[in-house]
């Protein structure tokens, strides 16, 4: 079992920056992939970014060049640095851990970007 707790969401103006964090606890294995997803009102949850234990990253086209995912394995924490935020980035951001064939989710943190 893996537990994920997000933090760092909030309200920011368009063009601003925000960093969200995800603390993982439980049975953590080095083969996991940590990621961020988001869900805007009335829309399906969408994948945003992911990072392997070794630090390899992948990003959705919609946020490439603006968001950066990173992780601190010693702290079991993954981050999503969001720059040049747009109103369309407004969503609940969910942390995800894919490990040994299972998906684990956090409770989500709200990010609101005002125009």
Cα(83)–Cα(101) distance, rounded to whole angstroms?
32
pLDDT of residue 29: 84
CA angle (72, 112, 60) in 5-degree steps: 55
Cα(50)–Cα(58) distance, rounded to whole angstroms?
5
Beta-carbon contacts of residue 44 (< 8 Å; ≥ 6 apart): none
With contact defined as beta carbons under 8 Å apart, do 87 and 113 qualify? yes
Find tokens 């760092």 and name the residue: 8
Cα(86)–Cα(65) distance, rounded to whole angstroms?
13
Find tokens 């709200």 and name the residue: 110
pLDDT tens readout for residues 13-69: 999 999 999 999 998 888 899 999 999 999 999 999 999 999 999 999 999 999 999
pLDDT tens readout for residues 76-87: 999 999 999 999
- The residue among 24, 33, 30 whose CA lies nearest residue 5 is 24
> What residues are paired with 69 via a beta bridge?
80
């Amino acid at each position: 079992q893996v537990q994920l707790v997000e933090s760092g969401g909030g309200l920011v103006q368009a063009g601003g920056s925000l960093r969200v964090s995800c603390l993982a606890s439980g049975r953590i294995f080095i083969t996991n992939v940590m990621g961020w997803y988001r869900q805007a009102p009335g829309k399906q949850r969408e994948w945003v970014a992911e990072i392997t234990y070794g630090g390899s990253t992948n990003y959705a086209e919609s946020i490439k060049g603006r968001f950066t995912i990173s992780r601190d394995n010693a702290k079991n924490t993954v981050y999503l640095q969001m720059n040049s935020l747009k109103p369309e980035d407004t969503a609940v951001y969910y942390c995800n851990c894919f490990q040994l064939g299972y998906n684990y989710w956090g409770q989500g943190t709200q990010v609101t970007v005002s125009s």
